[in-house]
Amino acid sequence: MTKMIGLTGPTGAGKSTAAEAFRSLGAEVIDCDRLAGDVLTFPACIRQLQQAFGEDIVSGGCVNRALLAQKAFSGPEETKKLNAITHPAIIEEMRRRMDEYKKEGASAVLIDGALLFESGVYRLFDTTVVVLADRELRLERIMKRDGISRRQAEERASAQKDDQYYLSRAGYVLDGGKGPDFLKNQVKDVFGRILEE
């Protein structure tokens, strides 16, 4: 039986490192950030986005992501419109890929996404794994990774839930603050336990 595992956590905690560790141990990985980009190429999604944000967001058959972002993040109502269009498409594509891996007989599929709890999709998984790290360390990582100021990093971190939110919902918790090798060893241990469940 294929195990469906959700992986989430606040930005900068080490989620990408954990996802790679799961992949190296044989899990198939579905990256929800990548899916978000993929759905912007789906004709039905493009049509809905044009209706909501204007014909000019598409040129040469492709969505101008910078212009879409500018319009969609101009206010909470606009962001809500974007999410109402893209989230169902992302979830549908995620489910399609999960089914595909299941048919292929994969031992485990890891779904890597920032909003697994908020969106409710965590209910589709056998368990969830959360990666957490100290806020200060996360801020340093975000600034370095994205080349942004401390204020911008703090805005991003503040837009996410606190550790308690994740802890109260997680099946397993990984410490992403002690370096990549420590995290990879935790993944190995947790993955073994999940496969035995």
pLDDT, tens only, 136-187: 999 999 999 989 899 988 888 888 889 999 999 999 999 999 999 999 999 9
Strands 58-59 and 62-63, by their bridges, are: antiparallel
**Residue 2, C-beta contacts closer than 8 angstroms, at least 6 positions apart:** 101, 102, 105, 106, 107, 108, 109
> With 90 as the cut, is the pLDDT of residue 135 above it?
yes
- The DSSP code sequence of 28-49 is EEEEHHHHHHHHTTSHHHHHHH
Say if CB 57 and CB 47 are below 8 A apart.
no
Neighbours of 149 (CB within 10 A): 10
Q: How far apart are CA 63 and CA 122, in angstroms?
A: 29
Section 86-98 average pLDDT: 94
Confidence of residue 114 (pLDDT cuts 50, 70, 90): confident
- pLDDT for 156 equals 81
Q: Are the C-beta atoms of residues 111 and 3 closer than 8 Å to each other?
A: no
Helix (H, G, I), strand (E, B) or coil at 92: helix
Per-residue pLDDT reduced to its tens digit, 19-51: 999 999 999 999 998 999 999 999 999 999 999
Q: Which amino acid is at 49?
A: L
- What pLDDT score was predicted for residue 146? 87
Element (H, E) at 25: none
pLDDT category at 115 given cuts 50, 70, 90 is confident
Percent of the chain, pLDDT > 70? 100
Predicted confidence at residue 47, as pLDDT, reads 95
Convert the pLDDT of each residue in 49-90 to its tens digit.
999 999 999 998 899 988 998 898 888 899 889 989 999 999
Rounded Cα gap, residues 187 and 151, in angstroms: 32
**Domains observed in the chain:** 1-27+107-197 (3.40.50.300), 34-105 (no CATH)
